[in-house]
Amino acid sequence: MGKPLFYEILEKPATSCIIGICSVIWFYIQKKNIGYSHVGLSYETAIEGHHWRIITSAFSHISVLHLVFNMSALWSLGVVEQLGHMGLGMEFYLHYTLVLVILSGVLVLGAYHVLIQRFKLEYFRRVTAVGYSCVVFGWMTILSVKQPSSKLNLFGFLSLPISFAPFESLIFTSIIVPQASFLGHLSGIIVGYSIAWGLIHGMNNFWAVSMLGWIVLVFVFSLKRSSACDFNFLEIESVTDTSLPSVRFLASGNGRTLQMSALPVGGAELV
C-alpha cells in the first residue's frame, strides 16, 4: 500500500506546484477557448519577436490527454526532489527546470532555422510546438543517467525502465501520436544529457535568480513589442535622433513619469 497522496505532495513540492500551474493554465485555456496558435512556439512567431512563447508554449496544453500524459510522467520524475543525497534534490530540480525550459525551446528554434534555411523545408516555418514534453524528456534523460535502476511509472499502472525510457518514449509517442513534436522531445533529451554529463553545470541560487530575472524582463518586453499584451505602465518610445535613445516608464496610477535620456554632453535628466 502506497503513501497517501498528501504525503507524496509534501515530498515533491516543486513538482506538485508545476503540475498545479499547468493544470490551472489548461483550465484557463479551455474556459477562454484559446487555441495553440495563440500560445505555441513556432519559427515564424519567434522571428516576429514573440519570444514570450518559449515560456507560454512550455506550460500550455490544449488536449486533456496531452496534459494527463505529461503530468503523469512528471509526477513520476519528481523523485528527483528526493535524491538530495545523490547531488540532486529540490534546488537542483528548480534550477535545471529553468535551464530545460529555455534551452530546449531555443534548441527547437535552432533546429527549425537549419531545416528552413539550409534544407529549404518551409513546412517548419509554421510548425507550432506546445506542451511540457521537452522538460519531461529532459528530466527522464537526467534520471536515466543519475539513477538508471529506477522506473518510470505512467498512469499508475505502466512501468518502464528509466534507462531506456527517453528513447522508448520518443519512438512510442512519434508512432502513437503523429502530431507529437519529435524535434521538441529530442531537444529535451539533448539538453538532459548535457546536464547529466556535466556539460551544463554550475547553477546555484544566484544564477537561478539572475536567470529568472532576465526571463521575466524578456518575457514582458517581448509581450510589449509584439503587441500581444498592452502594458500601460511601460512604454518604449522612439526618438528622431538615433544618438539620443530614450526610455520612459509611465505610472498611470499616479501620473508620475520617469524619463531617462542619453545626452551627448552632460548627464541624464530625471523628471
Cα distance between residue 140 and residue 169, in whole Å: 10
The 3-state DSSP composition of the chain as helix, strand, coil percent (nearest 5) reads 60, 10, 30
Active-site hit among 185, 187, 194, 222: 185
Query: What dihedral angle (degrees, nearest 10) is formed by the CA atoms of 14, 20, 23, 27?
Result: -150
Task: Please indicate whether residue 185 is annotated as part of the active site.
Answer: yes
How far does CA 213 lie from the centroid of its chain? 14
Q: Where are the beta strands (DSSP E) in 116-212?
A: 151-154, 158-161
The size of the chain, in residues, is 271
Is 18 within 8 Å of 138 (Cβ atoms)?
no
Q: Which DSSP helix (H) or strand (E) runs through 247?
A: strand 246-251
Distance of CA 88 to the CA centre of its chain: 20
Does the annotation mark 133 as catalytic? yes
Residue 235, SS3 per DSSP: strand
Name the active-site residue from 104, 133, 144, 181: 133
End-to-end CA distance of the chain: 67
Catalytic machinery residues: 133, 185
